[in-house]
Amino acid sequence: MKPNNLRKKQRLFKKAVKEADKRKKQGFFEGAALAYLEAAKLLPQDEFPEHVAACFNNAGLAYRHAKKNPQAEDYLLQALAIREKILGAEHIDTADSLNNLGNIYYEKGEFDKAEQHYQRALIIREKILGNNNPDLASTLNNLGTLYVKKRMIDKAGIYYQRAKDVVEKSFLKPHNPVAETITKNHRNLQQEITHLEREKLEIHAALYQSKKLEYLGQMATLMAHNINQPIGVIRMATSGALGDLNENLFDPATELKPLLENILNQTERLNLIMGNFRNFARGDRTVLSAVNLNTVIEDIYQLLFAAQYQLDKIECQKGFIEAPIAHANELAIQEMLISLLSNARAAVKDQAIKQVRIGTWQQNSQVGFAVEDNGDGITEENLPKLFTPFLSSKHEGMGLGLYFCREIVKDLGGSIDYYPAPLGGAGFKIALPAEQENKNDSAI
């Protein structure tokens, strides 16, 4: 191209860009985008790639303001491709294009793509601009906003705080729009965190109430068989005695006392069952004391599971050490046992040979128990979210059992871990603080 023609095109280009800037300033964004694209046609791209890329970038930004994101994305991608080719992958203009594209993907709801572009822009800007540049603050702010959308509140807080620190250390005045936006976002995040904490507590309380009702429902179902046994004994004894009386075969001198003793024994057994149920329903889960794990396990198994396991032909193997005493809460341990033994029962229901094992252990200052089964175990897909709410492989239930086992044992100062059981299915190991002798005594 002849020098005179080239200078003429450059003058026309500057005039066109000036007109596009004017339209953008007046709020005519779509017209501004078209003007930037017309300006780009005035210069040969192979000779002035940076100028063309700038026009494409500005056209993309104008289209974004005009709410035309498909066109915005198209021209921003073209600008990025030119800048990466001519200026390199780590140029400051490349970072600008990446940040602009991140905004487009954020608005489209493509948060993973937005994150990738923001993070690339951040790395370049940190390397070139240092830690106190306002452009760095805007990318940090964008990442904070993105992580709020992704409900990654802790991460959002880190980036918002970094953005706020940059603003305070940079030359931005307090009333600068960028500074005001970052300060506002940081303040809003603190309010959001407070709201989420309150919401989390409310949800936790609601979930716990739901799980408590589920536990009570399980207990009521499992206890039905146990209650029917003493009631059946009383019915048979009294019916037989009445029949004998009607036929003058009943001898009060020899048969009345054994009959009444039998009825009394059965009513005491019923009273014990109902007392255990009331204690479980109303009992205080906050009081810690010495708890013999063998006794709690045996009691809850005999009360609720022995008859059901026998009915389902489940072999329950027990391996107890001598006197494993935990510093814990008996009712809380009962809740965990109900969940784990119910889950184990459900896990083995389709096996030809059904096996569940429960054992106790002690190691140094920890004591605990483990429940294993020979079911199908936990799938690789479910392992990462094993202790989260609403994860359930059963058609019935809410999928809260393991979640609350973790919450309960955490409150007791212990832990729960999953492992592949030697029986072939799932294994869950509960660890609790061991009861220390003379724990309230002080050295003198």
Residue 124's pLDDT band, with cuts at 50, 70 and 90, is very high
User: What are the b/e assignments for 354-363, b being 16+ CB within 10 Å?
Assistant: bbbbbbbbbe
- Mean pLDDT, residues 181-186: 62
Q: Is 205 contained in some domain?
A: no
Domain span at residue 70?
A: 3-200
Rounded CA-CA distance 53/251 in Å is 111
Task: Say what the pLDDT of residue 23 is.
Answer: 92
Q: Cα dist. 251→233, 246, 254, 256 in Å?
A: 20, 12, 6, 7
User: When comparing pLDDT for 155 and 274, which is higher?
Assistant: 155
Residues 236 and 344 in one domain: no
Task: Say what the pLDDT of residue 397 is.
Answer: 39
- Per residue in 294-312, pLDDT (tens digit) is 999 998 888 778 878 988 9
Residues 411 and 369 in one domain: yes
Give the CATH number for residue 180: 1.25.40.10
Q: In what order do the strands lie in the sheet with 366-373?
A: 314-319, 354-363, 366-373, 426-433, 415-420
Residues 39 and 183 in one domain: yes
- Residue 307 dihedral angles phi and psi, to the nearest 5°: -65, -40
Q: Please, is 101 exposed, middle or buried when counting C-beta atoms within 10 Å of its C-beta (0-12, 13-18, 19+)?
A: buried
Residue 400's pLDDT band, with cuts at 50, 70 and 90, is low
Task: Say what the pLDDT of residue 31 is.
Answer: 93
Residue 442's pLDDT band, with cuts at 50, 70 and 90, is very low
Amino acid at 274: M
- Per residue in 198-248, pLDDT (tens digit) is 555 554 555 555 555 565 565 566 566 567 667 877 888 888 888 888 888
Rounded CA-CA distance 314/303 in Å is 16
Residues 67 and 183 in one domain: yes
Residues 56 and 144 in one domain: yes
Pick the last residue of a domain from 156, 179, 200.
Answer: 200
Give the CATH number for residue 424: 3.30.565.10
Task: Say what the pLDDT of residue 261 is.
Answer: 86
Q: What proportion of the chain, given as a percentage, has pLDDT over 70?
A: 78
Residues 262 and 322 in one domain: no
User: How many domains does one find in the chain?
Assistant: 3
For the cut 70, the answer to whether the pLDDT of residue 183 exceeds it is: no
CB distance 289 to 329 below 8 Å = yes
User: What are the b/e assignments for 147-184, b being 16+ CB within 10 Å?
Assistant: bbeeebeeebbebbebbbebbeebebeeeeebbebbbe
Residue at token pair 């086992």: 405
Pick the last residue of a domain from 282, 314, 336.
Answer: 282
Residues 362 and 395 in one domain: yes
- Per residue in 309-368, pLDDT (tens digit) is 988 999 999 999 998 999 999 888 988 898 899 889 999 999 999 999 999 999 989 999
For the whole prediction, is pTM greater than 0.95?
Answer: no
Residue 282's pLDDT band, with cuts at 50, 70 and 90, is low
What are 291's two structure tokens? 């708890």
User: When comparing pLDDT for 438 and 240, which is higher?
Assistant: 240
